[in-house]
Structure 1
């Protein structure tokens, strides 16, 4: 046994070393996208991140940041923490597999193992551990600063500890392993709640170990107990402790007049005292009543009995426990109660780390999400109330109408909540105020429209459900005076299996163990993000001929082909374990429930809607961990399978029955062991040969650099409005960790609708002063002014717009809005003056250097803002102004009133609905212009001639050429390119767009200046003489050319694929410069780009033409535009107009290669004629002359068959333009 233990331990650490080296070599050297920038920031300075928080992660990350030699190394240290924890997870997985296999192939009490047994055990461990180490999902989380690596380690540690207990359960003090498990669960709650899902597997191990005769009924009872434990921890202890603290806080603050958080401290001290008393009582065992009372009080005050919102449940449970302790229980089960008390105590120790959140929020850190600085805010924070509730067992469908009372008002139930009372002066005492909780509003729906197990539940996602499922069968249901079409239950189940289970779980599962098509996010298309096997007859039937894929997709680094070998090995291991006697089937159910609870159970709980913003495979890493156990066991299972095959053959030859051991079998056993182990090691090696290139993030600085590019696009002391994770968290990281441009204030529009975030905007942060605004602490307190209604109801109950023709100053309109009370309990307030203007003081604008002095007369007198013309407010939001937009208007109008001292910007990646109330003309906004990675709000109409020379194009040029960073791509060579996944590549393309836009603005300025120089006598535009010179015009073109050259040099096309629109716009810019300046090099560069673009997308066209009609319907909108709406044909027309001779040569070349361009045009034209697609008509009419010249006979025949062609196209174009 000593020899075995030595080998097992030594090889385990070798596997740990292999995993560690793998992750350290492939770590991202700085922050990653999505939540990583936020997590690293909160770890570095112990700031408060998004709900429900992760204080243990924060503390551990903070420890690792102390190894950083400079702030730029902080992210690397946190990423290294993830790598080490992930390697620790792999170590524990190795020992888990070897434990399980050893228990199946050796006898109890066996001291020495044969070399074949050791080889099979160790081979199984190596195979399972390395297969998981090099799997797609786990490796992704292992090299970035996120919570999932830590969570996976806690899961592995918990499962390994119960197996250690299984080995030592009969030894004295073996209960310490169970206490350790409880502690790990308590710690993991403060990392991620996923670890709780290990509990069913843990309870099954205990049941199978403690009961010699196990039955299916006993297993079910054990599972029910385990689910009960999860309920008591997740819905009892976690929120219940905070609930009791809230009662204590309310007593001490509102009744006793003590300062905020006094009640929390008092309660915590009392509970710690109870824990000490309980442990002491059970240790001494001197008084039975003392043990009873201490246990009862500890259990009650832990909050574990406070399940649900009603006080009835904790009262009943407490009474039942008291009855058991003092009535039923004659002899106290000391060990059970003592251990239970210890479990509660150690879980509390881990959970108590949430005090860090409370403490740091009271310190008012710059990042203080939800401001949980008191126990009531902390409760909302832990319960994730801002994300709303999702029905699981019973609820409405997307078609369910909200019930209304006799007045037409929505019927709803609201929970109340306590919030800090806003003080009129600092001398007022601390108090909590009770208000309606708008986050916990529950609307009432007709029961006739509800269903069990609601999956099609979200009314805001109706169109997404339809896109996902194609069609949805419904049945009419009467609801009072109306009839609604409710989806059938069978369609509800179809959606569950088709999307939630198949697409959002099994697809990810097969990514890891069969193969992955590419790293492009999938929304059901056949060419994005599917699983593949690498076996043509399996893949081609589902996804089209994979040999016809364009090179872009064939060579995508995320294309990983495993030939289903890990899957096959896992299935062999699963079946071998399940059929390996009584112990085998018991092990199987343990691993199965770990697999089920961390996979399919999460699918049931999340109840996801279609078109998620990112792939969600990281949520199921625990399930893939369980399957990796089966992969490891597959090595031994494969050996047994081979042995069985040899036995069958040799028995037939020797005339024996199939169950006898033959001589031939004995001879080949060693060879079969070697073969099985070799194959088991080959499988993970084949996996890593596929997955290394798309998990090696070394040399990639995308998140940090492009986050800094946003900030460098903003003038000193500026304000930048953002909206999503990837245009907010990288900026926070740059400021919080690396101290970059802390004078800029980042304002996230998604948060600006909340009172806590508005309060933070009124506080200074580093070098950024409080934001200018009229709003004060009272304005949005207690959920006031959540929505501004732009209408009132007339006597007949019809909506009538508020003062649509009266234009007032925005400051006046907003002040009026703030002065009005909100409707009780709704947060709705009338917005009386939606037609506004923001007055501009020209003298202040010039004095503050916003525009040159000679441009003073070109500054507009005001910026018009008419909310009734905002397409998003009028359609999407139902003529309702959100508090976020109201606050934004307040900030912008206050900024303008102060003379533009704090210039405002909008990140180029935020939806334009966040600034759509500004005047729009011909698809462009008059008062915004590109400044790089942000659009600057300007005091001049940038679409007019008078904007020439205002300096904004020069600012954008300087920002890009002097301040932009390139994410490591500036050092890329064709043979050495950092890996950029789709998210990072998307940011590269956003950066390219910002550069192309700046170049286009310079070209436009040159063209306008040339126009003025020639025609200003008739145009009569007052602009400085300096802009109507040949030197100014030439400078514009030269700077535009410089930007395009810089982009191609620093963000080379070979490093990250660009969208066709970026390449088309770049080529068009070169063509424009070439025609204006006569520079042949510009024409050459533009032609090269167009040939590259058209040649590349010719492959896509051939792939599209190879697809069946059904598969053609499973492509992206971009694909539809290119292939069905003649976008590709329009590209050719663009090239033809710019460089006719070169375009004709390419035209002939591609046609000879079998592209059949006329067929493509005719198909697209017929589709437009038959479907009346207005959006595509312009492309068809635009392209027709070129194709008619190239294919005169075909064009003539087409017009004869479809003599209404031009009439229909003209009508459609007019429809599109209107």
Structure 2
């Protein structure tokens, strides 16, 4: 046994080293696209990222950033952390596979291992661990600064720890493993909640070990208990901590008149004291079981476990159940209470890492999303309330509409109380929390188990409906789907397309790295076997397709080998009598809970912004266990033909090791991000497109996070104020934009804080004179009587923007009209204008012709929201200051947020449109600035040094964007007669972004035409 343990330990660390080397060689040297730039920045400076935050990731990431003094190397350190954590995942996977396989191969005996058995077990571990090492999804997460690598490691760790407990369960100190698992669970909350899904598998390991003759009733009870533990953590402790703390805070601040956070401080003291009391009563010689039970009950109450949901009746039921359970169960002994309280304590210790979120938020860090500075805002932050709720068991469908009464008012089903700090208007004003209510509206066409859901107000509404028509067979969007329709969509899209497709990417093969849309040429799974891929999967021949698809580096073929090994592993487990079936049920629970259970919980709508395979990495981890066990299964079968067990195990292990080697060879080129700096360079290119002290509006993830990374981490162009328009709709973000950030001065917004906070500034209706008069005419109201129905002086054909903003700043601008506009403010015209001082404005700097008026045509907009009113406020104030502060839109911002300025007031400067008060020249391209930026300031993601670096679809899309704006510059230069510069720009574009790196499409045709027009026929 000792010799086996030594071999097992050494082999595990060998696999760790292999995985670590692979991942460290292929990490991205800077930030990646999507959330990585934000996570790296939040780790580097301990800033507050998007809800629900990841404080443990931040703290460990910050530790890794201490290994460099160069801000340019910070991202590499955080990415290296992901690589090493991923290598530890592989280490724990290896030991998990060998533990489970050893029990199948050798039984419960702990001695007399034969060499053949040892080779079979170690070979199983090597194959399973290496298959997962080189799998598509896990490798992707292992080389970037995101939370999923960390989350995977914690999942692997806790599952391995329960197996360590199983080995040592008979020892008197075995409970230490349970307490350690609880602590890791508490820590994992500060990384990602996916880790909690291991609980059912962990509980079943415990059940099987404690019961030599398990029954289906006992197993079912244990399963329900495990689901209860998940509910306790997800819906009890996590939200309950801030809920109960909030009650204390309200009492001490609003009732007793004490300062902010005094109630939370008292709450924390009482919570810790109650747990310590319970522990004391359970371990002290002077302890008493009755007092221990009281302390136990008090502790679970203060921790929030008894206050799941928002119903008082449910709370009373839970409290009564807890009291009955605690005081009527004889089995509730001192040992149980001690273990429970110890576990609760370490969970809360791990969870306490979240204290860093309000602490850092109170410091007003430049990156401070949602500003969770008190217990109430922290609760909203932890509960991800800004993202809304997705129906799971019962809720709305795509046909649901808000129910309205006879007056047209939305009917409210319930209201949730929220609390925020009072806006102080005088010095010495006492701390206090204001109560407000968030309504939940009644909806029609609700149903059980709604899988097809969306709202007309959602940005992707039309795409969702199209997806429901394709995958759900919807023919009438006004009718509520049937249960059968929902199940059809569940299996066709949510399971088959959004889970099984990802699963087979990892264990069969992947067609390419193009995001799938249901077509036969994008992002499907393949086998590499022609008669399967063509006729059976319906993908057609894979060798007669477009070069950009056929030559895609994401085209990977595993010939179903990993998948088949996993199937063999499952069959082998099930054939090994009771112990094998128990082992199978444990792995299956891990597989299901981290896979299909997530599918049911997420309830995803069609056409996600990106592929979501990373969410199911835990499920693929579980299947890799079966892949490893499959090696032992084949070895056992081969013993029927080769009596020498050592020879059979060696042959099988050696042959099966070719499977991960095949995967490594196939996947290396599309997982090697070394040398690629495109995400960072894209952020820098946006910032390089604007003048000093500029305001730059952004909108989405990939035109915001790379910019944040460039500024917050590498300190690049911190004079620029990056303003995300999605966040500008919120009060907390306006607060932040009105603070100095590095060299960037606050946004030019003159609204008093109490005026832009609350509903008064959330929106304003646009009501025009023509709309009013048309309604009055339809009702046969004579024009002479119009003044009785609306404020004739207020509603005009066009109004100065400055006047509108002065009125809106009051928070009470509601000129009379015949419509039911309630308490919402009014903009009484859709044509607003600025009077521009033509004598003091520097027109040459704008590359535009002078104009004494700048028109804001709101067109058909029926309302403007807070971010649009803030844009107008800034334009009005910048105009008053004679346009000294430059203001821009990123070229990728949604056109709906352009305020119709793109038609007459946009001037392209690279990756940004400058808002100019005059009439732009050169077709809306500032050729001087755009040429200088694109030719001299922009960076190209490493393509200049190595055009063969791997560019994923997001990166290729960004290269196409660069080419598009190069083409606009070239066309403008040709129009100005600057042919030499146009040729130089063409040469630059084709050199730094060659067709070898990203295949030419329409952009190549545009470049060829430009070369031809310029007489460069050979280059064309």
**TM-score with structure 1 setting the length:** 0.79
Match for 1:1052 among 994, 999, 1007?
994
Q: Distance in 1 between matches of 2:224 and 2:823?
A: 43
Post-superposition offset of 1:599: 0.4
Aligned to 1:1132: none
Contact 1:806 1:835 in 2 (8 A): yes
Q: Distance in 1 between matches of 2:840 and 2:276?
A: 67
Aligned to 1:313: 314
Cα–Cα, structure 1 residues 989 and 411, in superposed 2: closer, same or farther, change >3 Å?
Answer: same
- What is the 5 A alignment of 1:1202-1213? none
Match for 1:991 among 962, 971, 985?
962
Cα–Cα, structure 1 residues 851 and 211, in superposed 2: closer, same or farther, change >3 Å?
Answer: closer
Q: Are 2:454 and 1:454 aligned? A: no
Aligned to 1:1066: 1007
Contact 1:785 1:827 in 2 (8 A): no
Match for 1:952 among 926, 931, 941?
926
Post-superposition offset of 1:373: 0.6
More helix by share: 1
Q: Are 2:885 and 1:902 aligned? A: yes
Q: Distance in 1 between matches of 2:502 and 2:821?
A: 44
Q: Are 2:662 and 1:691 aligned? A: no
Contact 2:693 2:721 in 1 (8 A): yes
Match for 2:870 among 858, 865, 887?
887
> 1:418 aligns to what SS in structure 2?
strand
> 2:755 aligns to what SS in structure 1?
coil
Post-superposition offset of 1:844: 3.1
Q: CA RMSD in A?
A: 2.3
Contact 1:473 1:487 in 2 (8 A): no
Post-superposition offset of 1:566: 0.3
Post-superposition offset of 1:1085: 1.7
Aligned to 2:334: 334
Aligned to 2:725: 749
- What is the 5 A alignment of 1:178-577? 178-286=178-286, 287-326=288-327, 328-329=328-329, 332-412=332-412, 413-437=414-438, 441-446=439-444, 449-460=445-456, 463-470=462-469, 484-541=478-535, 542-577=538-573
Post-superposition offset of 1:311: 2.8
- What is the 5 A alignment of 1:108-187? 108-187=108-187
Match for 2:655 among 665, 675, 679?
679
Q: Distance in 2 between matches of 1:557 and 1:942?
A: 43
- What is the 5 A alignment of 1:910-1059? 910-918=893-901, 925-942=903-920, 952-973=926-947, 977-1004=948-975, 1006=976, 1033=977, 1036-1058=978-1000
- What is the 5 A alignment of 1:1168-1187? none
Q: Distance in 1 between matches of 2:194 and 2:871?
A: 38
Post-superposition offset of 1:993: 1.7
Q: Are 2:810 and 1:819 aligned? A: yes
Contact 1:126 1:632 in 2 (8 A): yes
Q: Distance in 1 between matches of 2:585 and 2:356?
A: 39
Post-superposition offset of 1:269: 2.0
Aligned to 1:638: 634
Aligned to 1:1209: none
Cα–Cα, structure 1 residues 470 and 62, in superposed 2: closer, same or farther, change >3 Å?
Answer: same
**Structure 1: gaps spanning 5 or more residues:** 477-482, 647-664, 874-878, 1007-1032, 1075-1081, 1087-1218
- What is the 5 A alignment of 1:820-859? 820-821=811-812, 828-846=824-842, 850-851=845-846, 858-859=849-850
Q: Are 2:684 and 1:708 aligned? A: yes
Q: Distance in 2 between matches of 1:577 and 1:107?
A: 12
> 2:651 aligns to what SS in structure 1?
helix
Cα–Cα, structure 1 residues 913 and 463, in superposed 2: closer, same or farther, change >3 Å?
Answer: closer
> 2:729 aligns to what SS in structure 1?
coil
Contact 2:398 2:452 in 1 (8 A): yes
Q: Are 2:572 and 1:601 aligned? A: no
**Structure 2: gaps spanning 5 or more residues:** 780-788, 815-819
Post-superposition offset of 1:600: 0.3
Contact 1:475 1:487 in 2 (8 A): no
Q: Distance in 2 between matches of 1:254 and 1:731?
A: 41
Cα–Cα, structure 1 residues 689 and 493, in superposed 2: closer, same or farther, change >3 Å?
Answer: same
Contact 1:813 1:833 in 2 (8 A): no
Post-superposition offset of 1:941: 1.3
Aligned to 1:1105: none
Contact 2:796 2:828 in 1 (8 A): no
Q: Distance in 2 between matches of 1:218 and 1:56?
A: 36
> 1:53 aligns to what SS in structure 2?
coil
Contact 1:785 1:822 in 2 (8 A): no
Cα–Cα, structure 1 residues 590 and 638, in superposed 2: closer, same or farther, change >3 Å?
Answer: same
Post-superposition offset of 1:780: 2.5
Q: Distance in 1 between matches of 2:973 and 2:997?
A: 27
Post-superposition offset of 1:930: 1.1
Aligned to 1:27: 27
Aligned to 2:762: 786
Post-superposition offset of 1:851: 4.5
Post-superposition offset of 1:960: 1.6
Post-superposition offset of 1:320: 3.0
Post-superposition offset of 1:916: 4.1
Post-superposition offset of 1:107: 3.2
> 1:789 aligns to what SS in structure 2?
strand
Contact 1:632 1:680 in 2 (8 A): no
Q: Distance in 2 between matches of 1:696 and 1:575?
A: 35
> 2:423 aligns to what SS in structure 1?
coil
- C-alpha offsets along residues 283-312 of structure 1, whole Å, 9 cap, x if unaligned? 105223321222121111111111001233
Query: Taking CA–CA contacts closer than 8 Å with sequence separation of 6 or more, which of the two structures ends up with the larger relative contact order?
Result: 2
CA radius of gyration, larger in: 1
Post-superposition offset of 1:11: 0.5
Post-superposition offset of 1:738: 0.5
Q: Distance in 1 between matches of 2:201 and 2:441?
A: 38
Q: Distance in 1 between matches of 2:426 and 2:531?
A: 75
Q: Distance in 1 between matches of 2:685 and 2:822?
A: 41
Contact 2:729 2:762 in 1 (8 A): yes
- C-alpha offsets along residues 719-747 of structure 1, whole Å, 9 cap, x if unaligned? 11111110000000000000000000001
Post-superposition offset of 1:805: 5.0
- C-alpha offsets along residues 960-1005 of structure 1, whole Å, 9 cap, x if unaligned? 22211111001125xxx1111111111122122222222222222x
> 1:1053 aligns to what SS in structure 2?
coil
Post-superposition offset of 1:706: 1.2
Contact 1:789 1:828 in 2 (8 A): yes
> 2:842 aligns to what SS in structure 1?
helix
- C-alpha offsets along residues 673-725 of structure 1, whole Å, 9 cap, x if unaligned? 22211122111011101001100000000111111000000100001111111
Post-superposition offset of 1:367: 0.4
Cα–Cα, structure 1 residues 23 and 426, in superposed 2: closer, same or farther, change >3 Å?
Answer: farther
> 1:970 aligns to what SS in structure 2?
coil
Q: Distance in 2 between matches of 1:141 and 1:944?
A: 45
Q: Distance in 2 between matches of 1:152 and 1:388?
A: 26
Contact 2:94 2:126 in 1 (8 A): yes
Q: Distance in 2 between matches of 1:638 and 1:746?
A: 59
Post-superposition offset of 1:497: 0.6
- What is the 5 A alignment of 1:759-778? 759-778=735-754
> 1:407 aligns to what SS in structure 2?
coil
Q: Distance in 1 between matches of 2:157 and 2:528?
A: 35
Cα–Cα, structure 1 residues 303 and 470, in superposed 2: closer, same or farther, change >3 Å?
Answer: closer
Contact 1:207 1:219 in 2 (8 A): yes
Cα–Cα, structure 1 residues 228 and 801, in superposed 2: closer, same or farther, change >3 Å?
Answer: farther
Cα–Cα, structure 1 residues 797 and 529, in superposed 2: closer, same or farther, change >3 Å?
Answer: farther
Post-superposition offset of 1:828: 3.8
Aligned to 2:782: none
Q: Distance in 2 between matches of 1:696 and 1:773?
A: 46
